[in-house]
Amino acid sequence: MPLQIIAPAPFIEAGDDEEDEGGVRLDLDNEGDTTMDGDAPAHRKSGRQAGGIVTPGEIVTDDPQWMRGHGTYLSAPTADGNPQSIVSSLAGTISKTNKLLSIRALRFRYVPEIGDLVVGRILEVQTKRWRVDIAAPHSAALLLSSINLPGGILRKRTSTDELQIRTFFSEGDLLVAEVQTLNSDGQASLHTRSLKYGKLRNGVFMTIDAGMVRRMKSHVLTMNTSNGGGEVDIYLGVNGYIWIAKHTTPLTEGGAESKSISITRLEEEASEAIYSNVNEEISPETRAEIARIGCVIRALVKANVKIDEEMLNLGYEAALEEFLEGFDWGSDTEAGRRVVDLALTKRRMG
């Protein structure tokens, strides 16, 4: 059938039979206090085990020995002198560090950090800067002075550049950049002052949850694909934005016979071409492999497996094996699951 209909997951009542688990309950009045059985059930429910999931507004503990950390707040003081309880402000898991209680959110927005490689989309063009969507709580800023301006290395920006701002990036354009600075609100300022960064072409864009990208040494991967696909670049933005594109020989190597051309020369060559909006010729084979890599990423994320270079390679291999057995991503919804299982088995085997 061309359409698959899935029944919703059944609603599971939270059972109360979790007491025999090894975790430490946080709501014991004192260590070894055994009056629990006589306590009101509401009280017993109010305490949660470390590792359990809490929701916003839920009381984590009312034991004063704990300190409140990220993702929690103290409830309003009560008149009758009862101790204030620590309440969760996020939906997530409890983590304990000595006596500090914090909640790690299950899903969260990307929080920029200096040096992160991010993929972003231009939201707005302003007079001397761009506003860039990087999936963070605030949109990031990209200053005209922190991009590669054509026509020479690191020259100062001029009023001509200001007038031509839209020839570099305009609304909707995708770019890869690095977080340069953060201001006090956590708003990021980006830069693309390296030939590694800049406008993105020749590929497809996809988004995943920011938490699903594992931080790695390098977030730009190049994969050798089979079926005549050639090399494919994957820009795994730390912010969960991903660009999968045909591998392009960096402009540093193009043109000149000798690879050791001067930096100045290289910048000149890079000049206009880096802001072009025209794709290269991309073969259908490459397109198919790009789409396959995209599907692998989606399948991994669906199965809650963090994305890193190893997983991606294993996943891709697994997808190829399944492909040889004649399966089809489109109609077979179990395919993703199988690929992930296969990839995980491979990782375990080493």
**CA 142/CA 129 separation, integer angstroms:** 5
Stretch that binds another protein, among 85-93, 159-167, 307-315, 329-337 (CB under 8 A): 329-337
Strands 100-105 and 67-68: parallel
One of 194, 331, 337, 345 touching another protein (CB under 8 A): 331
- Nearer to another protein among residue 108 and residue 205 (C-beta): 205
One of 2, 22, 38, 41 touching another protein (CB under 8 A): 2
According to the binding rule CB under 8 A, does residue 227 interact with another protein? no
CB of 50 to another protein, least distance (A): 32
According to the binding rule CB under 8 A, does residue 200 interact with another protein? yes
- Nearer to another protein among residue 47 and residue 229 (C-beta): 229
Stretch that binds another protein, among 30-38, 57-65, 119-127, 337-345 (CB under 8 A): 119-127
SS (H, E, C) 323-339: HHCCCCCCCCCCHHHHH
User: Around Cβ 218, how many Cβ atoms within 10 Å?
Assistant: 10
The residue type of 20 is D
Touching another protein, residues 168-197 (CB under 8 A):
171-174
According to the binding rule CB under 8 A, does residue 8 interact with another protein? yes
Stretch that binds another protein, among 58-66, 145-153, 157-165, 330-338 (CB under 8 A): 330-338
**CA 252/CA 195 separation, integer angstroms:** 8
According to the binding rule CB under 8 A, does residue 205 interact with another protein? yes
Instruction: Sort 244 into a burial class: Cβ within 10 Å, 0-12 / 13-18 / 19+.
Output: buried
Number of residues that bind another protein (CB under 8 A): 41
- Nearer to another protein among residue 11 and residue 185 (C-beta): 11
CB of 140 to another protein, least distance (A): 14
Stretch that binds another protein, among 39-47, 77-85, 104-112, 284-292 (CB under 8 A): 284-292
Cα-based angle 205, 207, 212 (whole degrees, multiple of 5): 135
One of 129, 193, 201, 247 touching another protein (CB under 8 A): 201
One of 71, 329, 339, 340 touching another protein (CB under 8 A): 329
Strands 203-207 and 241-246: antiparallel
According to the binding rule CB under 8 A, does residue 4 interact with another protein? yes
The residue type of 258 is S
**CA 220/CA 72 separation, integer angstroms:** 36
Which residue in the block uniquely carries the two structure tokens 């990209």? 142
Q: For residues 281-296, b (16+ Cβ closer than 10 Å) or e, as one string?
A: eeeeebeebbebbbbb
One of 57, 279, 306, 310 touching another protein (CB under 8 A): 279
- Nearer to another protein among residue 48 and residue 292 (C-beta): 292
Cα-based angle 108, 109, 115 (whole degrees, multiple of 5): 120
Residue 349 host element (H or E): helix 335-349
The residue ranges that bind another protein (CB under 8 A) are 1-8, 121-123, 133, 171-174, 199-206, 277-279, 282, 284, 287-288, 291-292, 294-295, 298, 328-331, 333
